[in-house]
Amino acid sequence: MLFTRLPDNVISEYRTIPAGRKRLELLIVRSAYVDKLNKPPCVLWMHGGGFLLGRPEVLYKSRAIDLVTRCGAVVVSPRYTLSVRAPYPQAVIECHHALLYILRHAEELGINKDQIIAGGESAGGGLAAALCMYALDHHTANIAFQLPLYPMIDCYDTDSSRDNHERVWNTRRNHIAWRIYLRNLKGRRIPVYASPARRRDFRNLPPCYSFVGDIDPFHDETLTYIENLKKAGVPAEADVYEGFYHAYDRIQSQTPEAKRAADVFVRKFQEYCERYTAEN
């Protein structure tokens, strides 16, 4: 279920943390019914919006709220700098600061430091994938698993993102968003943390679950990402939903198909929590 306001059984708080020369605001959401003896997993959830739109409070209408209300997880969502204000790598750097804050303050947050998860939708899913790569390559934190839903991870056209004219997100908007996000990289090689689909070595990345619609422009890059992880020996899977355009599960949240996708997502999250930890 998606909420337009904070559910009665959920509590939230804002914290402002150092992030290099800047300050970064975090929205922290948890269940009002906390089992202090069994520390819950923590999900670092990045909002979508093509890197140039959105805010942390979107999580109340996203799949992330289900992880709080139905699974008891603590969700942390950073108010990362949008690309219209600062292009790549600002958002990735800030999300990494949020990850390190969670790790260093795990006891205070009351979470299981060995079960920190990176997730998000659309551009937020792209940031989640980039963050997993950045943390692995720089040996800063071990992420238990990743949940990049219909992620925006390829700055080049794929068969599904080329000539796509579906609702919500399409080729024109995708080109504009990538151009703004990567504007400081003109004539330079695109880093994998900017466009995670550019990566060639997928070994040792965290296990991954995703879902995407068959008419979503990010259909092909999502499935290619999953396939690359699997080829590298990383447990990974994705569900494909017929007739889902981009963010269908949020926009058409009351349809039987969207409810089924939400239920599967919750079930997969619970299964992955049982299977995967990463010692920190």
Q: What is the pLDDT of residues 126-148, one digit of tens each?
A: 999 999 999 999 999 999 999 99
Give the contacts of 120 (CB within 8 A, at least 6 positions apart): 45, 46, 47, 48, 126, 127, 128, 147, 148, 149, 151
Tell me, yes or no, whether 88 lies in a domain: yes
Tell me, yes or no, whether 196 lies in a domain: yes
Token pair listed for 223? 């499935």
Closest by CA position to 237, among listed 207, 259, 260: 207
CA distances from 276 to 60, 75, 117, 272 (A): 26, 18, 10, 6
- Of the pLDDT bands very low, low, confident and very high (cuts 50, 70, 90), residue 9 is confident
> In the predicted model, is pLDDT for residue 1 greater than 60?
no
Q: What tens digit of pLDDT does each residue of 71-85 get? A: 999 999 999 999 999
Q: How many CA atoms lie within 13 A of 25 on its CB side?
A: 9
What's the mean pLDDT when you consider all of the chain? 95
Tell me, yes or no, whether 264 lies in a domain: yes
- 249: domain CATH number? 3.40.50.1820
Tell me, yes or no, whether 31 lies in a domain: yes
Q: What is the pTM of this model?
A: 0.96
Span 62-73, average pLDDT: 95
Tell me, yes or no, whether 2 lies in a domain: no
What distance in Å separates the CA atoms of residue 112 and residue 51, rounded to the nearest whole number? 29
Domains contained in the chain, number: 1
Residues of the domain holding 127: 10-275
Span 44-60, average pLDDT: 96
Beta strands in 1-115 (DSSP E): 10-19, 22-31, 42-46, 74-78
Whether the upstream peptide bond of residue 89 has omega within 30° of 0, thus cis, is: yes
Q: Which of 36-40, 179-183, 228-232, 248-252 has the lowest mean pLDDT?
A: 36-40
Give the contacts of 189 (CB within 8 A, at least 6 positions apart): none
Q: Identify the helix (H) or strand (E) that includes residue 156.
A: none
